[in-house]
Amino acid sequence: MAGRLVKVIAQVRDGPKQCQLALAIPQKWAHVFVMQTQIDDAVRQKTMELCEAIVQQPQFQSIRQRVDSFMSDPKSQEQYQSLTEKGRSLHEKQHQGLPLNGQEVAAFESERNALLSNPVAKAFIDAQDEMQEMQEGVHKVVQKTFELGRVPSDEDLQEGSCGHGCGCHH
């Protein structure tokens, strides 16, 4: 027996643009769709608040300044790109089981040392590491929320702890 279809109007946002979309879905799922839209809006709003809090952090401001300095320094960008390409090439060669010769490795190390001696490039690399650390911290809390089905406590977030009742005995 086929269920009755209902028309649901949803607002779709794409940056500053908004449009409405009409969907025909089974009546028994209409409440789920409406509820999901409301949850998405609430989560989206809180996510935007989280993003605002991150942007306001002094550490984030420092990261952005170092990234911006790097982005306005073509010499540093060229050094970084060249080293990245050499590293990728060596990795692919190694992955294919081909031997790396001493000259290739020495050239890579020399270029790496030169890059790390460049204060703008070094600050950029450090900023990338700090940004990744910040992202991983946020991800850890969100992931733990999904795992536990509640907001995690400080104890839940301690390294090696899976949370109360997981049975892993950390």
Structural domain count of the chain:
2
Tell me whether residue 77 is in a domain.
yes
Q: What does the pLDDT read at residue 170? A: 46
Residue 9 lies in a domain: yes
pLDDT in tens, the chain (170 residues): 455 655 545 555 555 555 555 555 566 665 555 555 566 888 888 888 999 999 999 999 999 999 999 999 999 999 999 999 999 999 999 999 999 899 999 999 999 999 999 999 999 999 999 999 999 999 999 999 989 999 999 999 886 645 455 555 44
Domain co-membership, 105 together with 47:
no
The pLDDT assigned to 1 comes to 42
What is the pLDDT, as a whole number, of residue 115?
A: 96
47 and 82 both lie in a single domain: no
Which pLDDT belongs to residue 133?
Answer: 94
> Whole domain around residue 13: which residue ranges?
1-56
Find out whether 144 and 156 touch, Cβ atoms under 8 Å: yes
- 27 and 91 share a domain? no
Does the predicted TM-score (pTM) go above 0.75? Answer: no
Q: What is the DSSP letter of 2?
A: P
Sole residue written with tokens 């790396």: 100
In the chain, which residue ranges form alpha helices assigned H by DSSP? 27-56, 58-71, 74-95, 102-117, 119-148, 154-157
Whether residues 51 and 83 share a domain: the answer is no
